């Protein structure tokens, strides 16, 4: 069956730059063009509609007034055949310029599928029978979270678009259902047919007895000793915005937003001596994997690729409440689609504001009793996504001294499971009677297309070493930093070593500062860890990027995601492990740095029912990029404070 769609006329929209995100009108037009030209049936879903970014040389050479060719990149799924397609639509030419069938892949699970899957599970007679075995007569109070099925080499799963749903039950419509897992029930759903193909039942485990409620409806006693703390900017913020171009003090950058990555940074640079010096061309979160450590039959397949299997941008919060950010806020909306190709607007998807960040620099000359101190201010760009039970906040910070920081804030509700009375689980922690949270990890990968004072860069590993005892170290106190060039992809697969003070420098070997050092930025690791799953584990085969903290590749616009373009149900080996087999040179060339951040979560009682925020991330700091402290010209702050004795 096919449907006919009239193609709307593309309204005249002023596009200020080739990297401006698609407008709502452009999305509507792109969907209409591909529907019309390919005579799509009603069974097609739109997994992604986003800007097809123009080539790097066009962007870097663009001047205001130049003609801008606009293209949309679209991923489609035909539920009737199970086939996946990629299309490129030229909005300038009003036609489909590329149409490809991508064999043997599954697009990410779409938000509409979450809702339809839950409805299909609740309507399934076998599932209702499993509920009755557990004394539950009302399926309406059941919560169903559709999890990706992964790939475990099971032949009968090949070619099927599957979800293994995890289930909980509420005691009332507003109850926190994650307090009462329906342990042992796994409905397996064919998402193309939206049918439950089986209900795995591993036996009845009693529901945990206590609730885990946290909203004002249930929490009646709040602490009463908190005084107001106001953040005001009476003259307004210091940033300027034109479209999606941002200027803040000496920083210049552009931002975008994709369904898969969420916030994207483009063309980040810092003004120095009258010119904007480039630092990064493009940076974003490109994958995220959450492996769990429970080996039991109904838990071992729990490992989510929240970027590649769901889309962290699609799951972004609308920050309309305004309490996620404080101060003078500038919000940016995001325009995506639902799976039927209708424009979906996330209002206030991106938050931008300024924050006071304590002391920037200070010195007191004790001879003259003269004190100079400057307060640090940072620009914050952030978005927050909810993935089922969990919240992730993604924050980019820009500092006055040229530092860039990426920080991930982890909060929300832990994934939970039930155990019989008296059982203490080995692979997790009891957080309430008969309720436990499994041990797990959160592993993120950030793709940073570096552009340190130009496109040709090299990467060096820096370790601090002790000078051997002997003639050069007569007092046994000497130590020094040594830099080692990582010239090829295999040499540039590295892990952290805090005992050596290890960091990595991205250097432009052709440009030098006043002292003759090549200009550079260094990537400074924060908290990190490696995965504990064995190399033969399915999750390691599919997310091999987790096994190294640093990867470096030569720039290739087709190499975007470290676990491959389609990790959903993929057997593995795609992405970084496949590309780097060629062991290409990465010296003095246009290169991409991939940094992996791992957070090891051994749950604790204090993480229940809603987890206090945990923080992980990294810094990018200038290393001889400037001739001196670039924040030396930050003016003193007026003294405004009250003393209380």
In 3D space, the residue among 410, 444, 420 whose CA is nearest the CA of residue 603 turns out to be 410
Catalytic residue check, 390: yes
What token pair was written down for 356? 């006071």
Task: Output the CA torsion sign for 237, 238, 242, 245.
Answer: negative
Query: Which DSSP category does 515 fall into?
Result: T
Residue 257: strand pairing partners: 263
Residue 134: strand pairing partners: none
In 3D space, the residue among 323, 356, 334 whose CA is nearest the CA of residue 237 turns out to be 356
SS3 639: coil
Query: Which residue among the candidates 85, 178, 281, 390 is catalytic per the annotation?
Result: 390
Task: For residue 395, report the phi and psi dihedrals to the nearest 5 degrees.
Answer: -125, 125
Query: Which residue among the candidates 306, 453, 574, 607 is catalytic per the annotation?
Result: 306
Q: How does strand 262-272 pair with strand 251-258?
A: antiparallel
The strand order across the sheet containing 428-432 reads 417-418, 435-438, 428-432
Distance CA 187, CA 129 (A): 12
SS3 167: strand
SS3 117: helix
What token pair was written down for 225? 């000793």
Distance CA 407, CA 111 (A): 26
Q: Distance between the two ends of the chain, CA-based, in angstroms? A: 79
- The b-or-e profile of 196-221 (16+ CB within 10 A means b, else e) is beebebeeebebbeebbeeeeeeeee
The region that residue 73 occupies, defined by phi over 0 for left and psi between -120 and 50 for alpha, beta otherwise, is beta
Which residues does 499 contact at the CB level (< 8 Å), separation at least 6? none
SS3 463: strand
Query: Which DSSP category does 488 fall into?
Result: B
Count of residues making up the chain: 645
Q: Any idea of the CA torsion for 575, 578, 580, 584, to the nearest 10 degrees?
A: -110
Task: Output the CA torsion sign for 533, 536, 537, 539.
Answer: positive
Task: Output the CA torsion sign for 33, 39, 41, 43.
Answer: negative
Distance of alpha carbon 233 from the chain centroid: 30
Rg, C-alpha atoms of the chain: 26
In 3D space, the residue among 422, 444, 446, 445 whose CA is nearest the CA of residue 433 turns out to be 422
Which residues does 94 contact at the CB level (< 8 Å), separation at least 6? 7, 10, 29, 33
Distance CA 593, CA 521 (A): 12
Query: Which DSSP category does 640 fall into?
Result: -
Q: How many CB atoms lie within 10 A of CB 164?
A: 18
- The residues carrying an active-site annotation are 306, 390
């Amino acid at each position: 069956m096919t449907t006919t769609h009239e193609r709307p006329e593309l309204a005249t929209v002023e596009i200020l730059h080739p990297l401006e995100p698609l407008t709502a009108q452009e999305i509507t037009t792109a969907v209409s063009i591909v529907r019309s030209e390919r005579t799509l049936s009603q069974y097609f879903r739109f997994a992604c509609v986003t800007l097809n970014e123009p080539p790097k040389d066009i962007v870097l050479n663009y001047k205001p007034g130049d003609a801008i060719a606009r293209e949309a990149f679209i991923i489609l799924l035909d539920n009737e055949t199970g086939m996946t397609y990629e299309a490129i639509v030229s909005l300038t030419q009003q036609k489909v310029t590329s149409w490809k069938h991508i064999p043997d892949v599954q697009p990410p699970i779409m938000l509409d599928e979450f809702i339809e899957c839950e409805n299909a599970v609740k309507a399934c007679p076998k599932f209702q029978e499993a509920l009755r075995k557990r004394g539950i007569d009302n399926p309406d109070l059941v919560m169903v979270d559709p999890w990706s099925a992964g790939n475990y080499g099971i032949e009968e799963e090949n070619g099927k678009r599957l979800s293994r749903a995890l289930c909980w039950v509420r005691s009332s419509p507003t109850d926190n259902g994650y307090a009462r897992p329906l342990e042992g029930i796994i409905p397996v759903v064919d998402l193309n047919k939206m049918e439950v193909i089986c209900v795995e039942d591993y036996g009845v485990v009693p529901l945990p007895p206590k609730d885990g409620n946290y909203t004002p409806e249930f929490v009646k006693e709040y602490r009463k000793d908190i005084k107001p703390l106001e953040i005001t900017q009476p003259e307004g913020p210091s940033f300027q915005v034109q479209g999606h171009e941002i200027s803040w003090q000496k920083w210049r950058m552009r931002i975008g937003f994709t369904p898969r990555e969420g916030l994207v940074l483009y063309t980040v640079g810092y003004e120095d001596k009258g010119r904007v010096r480039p630092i990064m061309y493009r940076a974003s979160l490109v994958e995220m994997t959450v492996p769990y450590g429970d080996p039991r039959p109904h838990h071992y397949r729990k490992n989510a690729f929240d970027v590649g299997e769901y889309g962290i941008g699609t799951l972004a919060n609308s920050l309309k409440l305004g309490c996620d950010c404080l101060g003078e806020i500038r919000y940016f909306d995001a325009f995506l689609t639902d799976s039927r190709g209708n424009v979906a607007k996330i209002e206030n998807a991106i938050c931008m504001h300024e924050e006071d960040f304590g002391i920037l620099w200070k010195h007191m000359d004790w001879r003259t009793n003269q004190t100079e101190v400057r307060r640090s201010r940072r620009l914050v760009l952030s978005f927050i996504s909810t993935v089922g039970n969990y919240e992730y906040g993604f924050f980019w910070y820009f500092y006055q001294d040229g530092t860039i920081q990426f920080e991930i804030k982890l909060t929300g509700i832990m994934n939970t499971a039930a155990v019989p009375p008296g059982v203490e689980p080995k692979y997790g922690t009891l957080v309430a009677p008969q309720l436990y949270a499994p041990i797990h990890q959160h592993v993120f990968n950030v793709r940073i297309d570096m552009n340190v004072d130009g496109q040709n860069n090299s990467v060096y590993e820096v370790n601090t070493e002790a000078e051997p005892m002997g003639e050069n170290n007569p007092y046994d106190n000497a130590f020094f930093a040594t830099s080692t060039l990582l010239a090829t992809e295999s040499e540039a697969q590295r892990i952290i070593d805090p005992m050596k003070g290890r960091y990595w420098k991205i250097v432009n070997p052709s440009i030098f500062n006043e002292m003759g050092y090549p200009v550079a930025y260094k990537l400074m690791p924060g908290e990190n860890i490696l995965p504990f799953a064995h190399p033969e584990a399915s999750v390691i085969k599919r997310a091999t990027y987790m096994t190294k903290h640093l990867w470096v590749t030569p720039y290739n616009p087709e190499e975007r995601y470290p676990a491959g373009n389609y990790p959903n149900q993929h057997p593995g080996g795609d992405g970084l492990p496949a590309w780097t087999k060629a062991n290409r040179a990465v010296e003095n060339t246009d290169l991409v740095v991939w940094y992996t951040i791992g957070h090891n979560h051994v749950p604790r009682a204090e993480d229940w029912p809603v987890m206090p925020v945990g923080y992980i991330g990294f810094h990018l700091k200038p290393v001889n990029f400037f001739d001196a402290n670039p924040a030396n010209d930050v003016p003193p702050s007026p003294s405004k404070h009250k003393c209380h004795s």
